Structure 1
Amino acid sequence: MSAFPCVSRTRGPLCLLLILIWAVLSGGTAMGQPAAQGPTLRPDTMQARVAACTACHGAQGKAGTDGYYPRLAGKPRDYLYHQLLNFRDGLRQYRPMTHLLTGLPDDYLLEIATYFADQHVPYPPASRPAVSASTLEHGRVLATRGDTARGIPACVACHGTSFSGLAPAIPGLLGLPRDYIGSQIGGWKNGLRRAAEPDCMADIVQKLTPEDIGALSAWLSSRTIVEPYVPDPAGSTTLPAECGSQAQQR
């Protein structure tokens, strides 16, 4: 078997990127020149294979440092798997992710999703965003009660009683940067992000105003996580809308 694990498991640009990352982290470069001493990845392990992921999403997928790349660690396996499929197949638009995943088989994407779902690392402390108290209160009401007059269900109705997600495929909403939350809701709203039909999130976000999105992003990102922060069990609640991604179980 090759010293570079991706050779036997992947093809194309992801393989090349993994080789480069592996070479640098193991003390060399693609040109064979010495590099600064750093952590060594043992070949043919999932830790080595997902080096291209953790380069942006942080060690063990605990989140990037720039407020945009989200946490992967501990998310429901099927949620992570569906997102990998969606990036690869064009339902979710972000060119670097699509570039890395093009050509990778479903079973390998499931392995990647399982690896990150099994990682459990502490969450960073929440920080209060620089918004008004009325904005935070508006976000709290939408997240916990929704707006029945506009047909907007509460976030908590789908995303778990502690906003920690619902197995097998609905993610938690806490521990995410404010900018990331806002950008993803915006992605649903403008069609850059989609899911299996019926796409319940796409329907809900069309009812949200820019003020709603800003308030939700601010309130959710300001919440302190109480451990253990794990998804609610499958079947523990009845969803207010039919969601294709929840029904699309592996």
Structure 2
Amino acid sequence: MDQRMMACTLCHGNQGRATSSGYFPRIAGKPAGYLYNQLTHFRDGRRQNPGMANLLDHLSDAYLRDIAAHFSAIDLPYPPPQPVQASGSAMNRAEVLVRDGDAARQLPACVACHGQALTGVNPAVPGLLGLPRDYLIGQLGAWQTGLRHAHAPDCMAQIAKALPPEDVAALAAWLSSRPVPANSKPAPPVDKPMPMRCGSAVP
């Protein structure tokens, strides 16, 4: 599989560890269900990226599961976060959204779905740490504009559309500035329901 996945690592870095570009995320160690969902989203047009669509166009669901399992099993250390420029008030506002959410806007806390350590939850919820600021802004913007979709109900689209630009910038700065814990593996599945119905929760 390492040789077969060379097309992936050209953009996503050696073993899927990401590059310094800021627009190609780490895929190593992500939950297999999440990776599988994203591969099918690119292949089936829910996420817009011509390069990814061309790579995946003729691949079967079974092979996409093999790709997802391959990268999910790779355990690599994360580099330290890059410094970011953001005001103290913006970082404080972001941390409140991450830890507590905003009930008035029906925004759940990020940790309610992505895990208390923000390293993701198996089988299909990704971690939010270790991602570049520009990538986070780009993905939230893609949900806001409809360029990115997931299985219905698309909970992240609903959340992103409730975030004004200053909250998007603050969240991206806060998340990208946080170090990834030594145990970066996704948390085990939880029995309690998620705070929102989310179609991509189970692949």
Q: How does 1:76-87 map to 2 (within 5 A)?
A: 76-87=31-42
Q: Which residue of 2 aligns with 1:168?
A: 123
* Structure 2 Cα separation of the partners of residues 112 and 135 of structure 1: 38
* Structure 2 Cα separation of the partners of residues 58 and 212 of structure 1: 29
Instruction: Tell me the CA shift for residue 237 of structure 1.
Output: 4.3
Q: Mind listing any 5+ residue stretches in structure 2 that lack a counterpart?
A: none
Aligned partner of 2:46: which letter? L
2:150 pairs with 1:195: yes
Instruction: Tell me the CA shift for residue 129 of structure 1.
Output: 0.5
- Specify the SS of the correspondent of 2:29: coil
Q: Which residue of 1 aligns with 2:9?
A: 54
2:183 pairs with 1:228: yes
Aligned partner of 2:113: which letter? C
1:217 maps to which of 169, 172, 188: 172
2:103 pairs with 1:156: no
* Structure 2 Cα separation of the partners of residues 49 and 127 of structure 1: 31
2:85 pairs with 1:130: yes
Aligned partner of 1:150: which letter? R
Q: How does 1:2-81 map to 2 (within 5 A)?
A: 46-81=1-36
Q: How many pairs were matched up?
A: 203
TM-score (norm: length of structure 2)? 0.97
- Specify the SS of the correspondent of 2:3: helix
Instruction: Tell me the CA shift for residue 64 of structure 1.
Output: 1.7
Q: Which residue of 2 aligns with 1:97?
A: 52
Instruction: Tell me the CA shift for residue 67 of structure 1.
Output: 1.1
- Specify the SS of the correspondent of 1:124: coil
Aligned partner of 2:29: which letter? G
Aligned partner of 1:56: which letter? C
TM-score (norm: length of structure 1)? 0.79
Aligned partner of 1:103: which letter? H
Aligned partner of 1:174: which letter? L
**Greater relative contact order (Cα < 8 A, sep 6+):** 2
Aligned partner of 2:142: which letter? G
Alignment identity in percent?
A: 51
2:144 pairs with 1:179: no
Q: Which residue of 1 aligns with 2:95?
A: 140
Q: CA, structure 1 residues 137+128, in 2 after alignment: closer, same or farther (shift >3 Å)?
A: farther
* Structure 1 Cα separation of the partners of residues 133 and 190 of structure 2: 29
Instruction: Tell me the CA shift for residue 94 of structure 1.
Output: 1.0
2:74 maps to which of 103, 111, 119: 119
Instruction: Tell me the CA shift for residue 227 of structure 1.
Output: 1.2
* Structure 2 Cα separation of the partners of residues 237 and 64 of structure 1: 36
- Specify the SS of the correspondent of 2:120: coil
For the aligned residues, what is the CA RMSD?
A: 1.0
